[in-house]
Structures are given as C-alpha cells and as structure tokens.
Amino acid sequence: MKISDSFSISSSALTAQRLRMDVISSNIANAETTRAQVVNGKAVPYRRKMVVLEPKQQAFGQALNTALGNGETSQGVKVTQIREDSTPFKPVYNPTHPDADNEGYVYMPNVDILKEMVDMISATRSYEANVTALNASKAMVTKALQIGK
C-alpha cells in the first residue's frame, strides 16, 4: 500500500460521511412534514431516509495489480444506496389539522429526532476522525520530503 492510498481512503470516507450528514439534516428538516408527496390524490408524510455504506470491493486481478504496484487502490468506502425507512408513520390525534383522516388522526413522518441526532453525532465524529487521519498522512509525507533536504 502506498502512502497516497491513505489519501484516497480518507477522501472516500469524507465524501460518504458528508452525504450521510446531508441526509440526516434532510430528515430533521422534514420531521413535521405531513405532505411530502401525493399518492392517488392523498397526501403522504415524509419517510425517513438512510444511507447505506459498504466497503469498496475489488476483483482478484485488481488486488494483484495493486499489490504489485501496477494499479490503483480500490480500498475505502462507498455509498451504495439511499433507502427509505419502512417503519410505520406515527398517528397523532389532531382533528383540526388539514391532513387529518375521518377519525381525526394525522400521520406524522417516521423521523425520530433523538435517533437522528445520535446519527448526526456519529457521522460528525467519523468525519472528524477521517480529517485527523488525512492530516496525519499529510504530515508524514511532509516529514518524508524534509528528510531529503
């Protein structure tokens, strides 16, 4: 593994965590949105979204070329999808709400602010850890270049 591979690994993680923070922010912003879309003439609440991260995979030939120094690394992380949470919406009794059904219940988004804040803290800490790793790699490269002076 080359020292420059650490830069690409950290940058893939930074990109993934940034997208994760954007999706979490969208969830928090829409936690009270009862009309996210209209399906069959009926308003449907916002559905929580989640980011799915997976490690980058490489074929055997690519791994061999990387080990021999003839190829680029494909290590790191990638976002494979942004999927919707399938948990049911939360019914809240409010007969005066414009989106209330015949029984007076309004279906609120399946966004739990507490869970979103925990996810945001996790994503932020991961982002900070990758910035630290990137800065450490940069410092090592800088020190290595100063040895030659």
pLDDT at 6: 83
First vs last C-alpha separation in the chain: 25
C-alpha–C-alpha distance, residues 47 and 145, integer Å = 51
Does this model's pTM top 0.85? My answer is no
More confident residue, 2 or 142: 142
pLDDT at 21: 97
pLDDT at 147: 87
Indicate the helix (H) or strand (E) that contains 66.
helix 60-68
Question: Among 2-6, 21-25, 142-146, which is the least confidently predicted range?
Answer: 2-6
26 touches 51 (CB < 8 A):
no
